[in-house]
A and B are shown apart, each in its own frame.
Chain A
Amino acid sequence: MSEQNSITSVQTGATMVKEMERPASSRKVPKLPYLRLLTPTSSRETLILGVIGAFLFFLLWEAAHYATDEESRRFLPSPQHVVATLITLIVERNFLSDVLISAYRIFASFFAACLVAVPLGIFMGCFSRMRALINPTISGARYLPAASFIPLLLVWFGPTDTQKLALLFLGVIFFLVALILDNTESVQKELIEAAMTMGASRWEIVVNVVGRAAAPAIMDSMRNMIAVGYTYLVIAEIVAAQDGIGAVMMRAGRFLKVDVIMAGILAIGILGVLTDILFRLVAHFLFPWNRRRKQ
């Protein structure tokens, strides 16, 4: 008995030594503090780092501007110059109305796309036969470049606003459906089964269980896809357009006014960031139950 005890105590002693060592080694200053796995960043630090990143980008841009030799510098204007051009455009050339027209085109076409994609994606995600019927055709359409629809849309709608909205719509709809289908199918199967055992009707489940369970993910898909919508904006406004950011940029391009082109790019960028923030805010208030999970 006493022998056993002593063995036990020796063993405990050994583990204790090991345990003493461990915290000591981890107390050392960690190497590469910016590359630590599984370490979340506080929201304040996230903000600061984001600002630093943007600042570095403008610094590089500035440096590139001054590194360019003098006669070609106008092809790479400095950031201040681009901002100044943007302000001049707004104040003197009513650029804001172009921005608003572009924003309208993006939002209207995207809203229409969601009106189709959300019900269709959820519908296919819920009913596998409907998916088998519809999805192969739709997902095949993702491989068609949206720009290839331009001639067709011009014949159908002429150089109208409708034509541009239709192009933006076609640019996102197929991907949006695919993403929402995916979001819907990722809904935990047991949630649906639980609702079924409670006697919920089919449509109750589609709308109030699957729909609500998938809603945050769908919102994320929408946020990502509206960004893709922006990438089609310039294409939509290059052809047969008098107004909108893209049209202004195209006109500037003809006169080699790089500062105006870049001001247009900057305007699209700002609009995009604002859109992203808008979607995040809406999601934040629409899905309070999902907030904690996100972190």
Chain B
Amino acid sequence: MNQAESGNRTKSPVIDVRKVTREYLAGTFTAVSDVSFEVQEGQVTALVGPSGCGKTTVLRMIAGLEPPTDGEIVVYGNSVHGPGPERGMIFQAYTSFPWLTALKNVEYGMKILKVPPVERRKRAMQLLEEVRLSPAAHQYPAELSGGMKQRVAIARTLAQNPRVLLMDEPFGALDAQVRWEMQEMMIEIFQAENKTVVLVTHDIQEAIYLADRIIFFTRNPGRIKQDIILDFKAGRRFRKKEELLEQDGYIRAEQQLFAWMREEIQN
């Protein structure tokens, strides 16, 4: 494992979080304090840390759903002042629109971007195929399982072809087997579309499985504790989890993260 700082700095970053602080309760509570990091094109970064350390807050600020109290976030050279379709977000809560069928949900984002109807339909079908949801295309979310609802939300976000994908514990509400299936699917998608991804999770194994880099947060106030590149993966992404587990260095990475987590819990 290397410190991320020593990584390649020649390209300008896709996401640049600059000395960001976020206070709540009229400045009496600091959720995130002086956080800075850069995310490069095509990198999958996991934000990990104990509950309440500000992971969600950081992600929401990148999404533009909340303003920083201090500091600035720059995405593709533009300062963030609100949400936008170039930063697709996937929430932990099911956000597929219950009044639209799976297909119409996926079309919705493209409708916002004024994609012509024929093209919209074609791409939506294709994406449903990609998230293995074609048979449920004409069903409403109420008729779908949690995992299927989440697939609808993922396909809907991907349909807008965002350059950055922000995910806040997207599989947190799913049971182990579905979660794993979804993780495999996400790796395929990251690989196929070369997305820049910021993923919030408190599941250490999920972070190692999906991410190239892990930013570990500490709480009270939320700060970066460690920022590591998972270099045992050597830039590879292992679709099969068992292959990942075979890699030298996997166990060490996991041990390290658990040790940090323990420190946090004991503080």
Cα–Cα distance between A198 and B140 once the two chains are bound (Å): 20
- B142–A200 CB distance below 8 A: no
In the complex with contacts A200-B112, A204-B112, A289-B140, A194-B153 CB distance below 8 A:
yes
The interface residues of chain A lying within 8 Å CB-to-CB of B97 are: 191, 209, 212-213
- Say whether A288 contacts B87, CB under 8 Å: no
Q: Chain B residue with minimal CB distance to A196?
A: B83
Closest to B141 in A: A289
What per-residue 1/0 map shows which CB atoms of A188-231 lie under 8 Å from chain B? Answer: 10110110111110001000010011010000000000000000
Q: Is the CB of A190 within 8 A of B160?
A: no
Tell me the B125-155 residues at the A interface (CB within 8 Å).
Answer: 140-143, 153
Among listed B47-55, B88-96, B216-224, interface-contacting one = B88-96
Distance in angstroms between the alpha carbons of A34 and B42 in the assembled complex: 61
Please report the C-alpha to C-alpha distance between residue A289 and residue B91 in the assembled complex, in whole angstroms.
22
> CA of A287 to CA of B64 in the docked complex: distance in angstroms?
32
**If A196-B65, A199-B84 touch, does A290 touch B108 (CB 8 Å cutoff)?**
no
The reply to whether B112 and A287 contact each other, CB–CB distance below 8 Å, is no
Q: Does B118 contact A (CB under 8 A)?
A: no
Question: Given the interface contacts A198-B108, A199-B112, does A213 sit within 8 Å of B87 by beta carbon?
Answer: no
Give the number of A-B contacts (CB < 8 Å).
70
A194 to B91, Cβ gap below 8 A? yes
CA distance A184 to B24 in the complex (A): 25
The size of the chain B interface, using a CB distance under 8 A, is: 30
Tally chain A residues at the interface, Cβ within 8 Å. 21
Contact of A289 among B85, B98, B156 (CB under 8 A): B98
Q: Give the residue among B88, B140, B156 with the most A Cβ atoms within 10 A.
A: B140
Kindly provide the distance from the CB of A173 to the nearest chain B CB, expressed in whole angstroms.
27
Give the complex CA separation of A198 and B95 in angstroms: 12
Report the minimal beta-carbon distance from B61 to chain A, rounded to whole angstroms: 13
Q: What 0/1 readout, one digit per residue, does chain B (96-127) give for beta carbons within 8 Å of chain A?
A: 01111000000011001100000000000000
Q: Which residues of A contact B (CB under 8 A)?
A: 188, 190-191, 193-194, 196-200, 204, 209, 212-213, 215, 287-290, 292-293
